[in-house]
Every structure is written in C-alpha cells, then in structure tokens.
C-alpha cells in the first residue's frame, strides 16, 4: 500500500524532506504523495518516515493502493536503479 495525506494536513512542511523517494510534493491545497514513488520507506527505513514526523497524524495507508511488502521492495529497487542511471547520465 502507498500512503496518502488527508485534508487534515496543516502544511507544516516536515514530511516532504523526510521522504527518501521524493514521493511527497505540494498539491493544490496540501501535500500529496505519489503512489508510484511511495514504498512506505521499504528499503530505506523500518517505518514510514513521514508518518513518524507528522504532528497531526494525517498520513494513513491508502486503501485504494494495495501492495505487498515484496511489491514495495521491487518498487524500491526499481526507483533506486532509476536514480543510479540518472546520476550516471
């Protein structure tokens, strides 16, 4: 599952820099998470870092974007490989 940021977000700016996959960005009204980039920090940390720093607990798991731990690990590996290719170019 990817994570999502609800409209309870207060735009405090603490989650965006914590995301190792650059999946968090400012949306029209509050921050949003790109589910194609979100690995719930699998491959980086034991727990989602954005959830750890959010002062209003507005970052639940997205029930519409279900992924197994294995799928999240594969996504992490793909994203990491893509970053490495971009650096090499």
**Domain residue spans in the chain?**
16-88
Average pLDDT per consecutive 10 residues, the chain (89 residues; last block may be shorter): 94 97 96 97 97 97 94 95 82
- Provide, for the chain, the percentages of residues in helix, strand and coil under a 3-state DSSP scheme, each rounded to the nearest 5: 30, 10, 60
What's the CA gap between 72 and 21, in Å, rounded?
Answer: 12
Q: What is the DSSP letter of 61?
A: B
Q: What pLDDT, on the 0 to 100 scale, is given for residue 82? A: 81
Q: What are the residues facing 46 on neighbouring strands? A: none
39: tokens are 């690995």
- CATH architecture for the domain at 16-88: 2-Layer Sandwich (3.30)
């Amino acid at each position: 599952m990817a994570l999502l940021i609800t409209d309870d977000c207060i735009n405090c700016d603490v989650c965006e820099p914590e995301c190792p996959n650059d999946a968090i960005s400012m949306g029209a009204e509050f921050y949003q998470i790109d589910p194609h980039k979100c690995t719930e920090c699998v491959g980086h940390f034991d727990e989602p870092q954005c959830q750890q720093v959010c002062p209003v607990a507005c970052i639940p798991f997205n029930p519409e974007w279900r992924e197994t731990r294995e799928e999240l690990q594969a996504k992490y590996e793909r994203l990491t490989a893509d970053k490495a290719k971009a650096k090499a170019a």
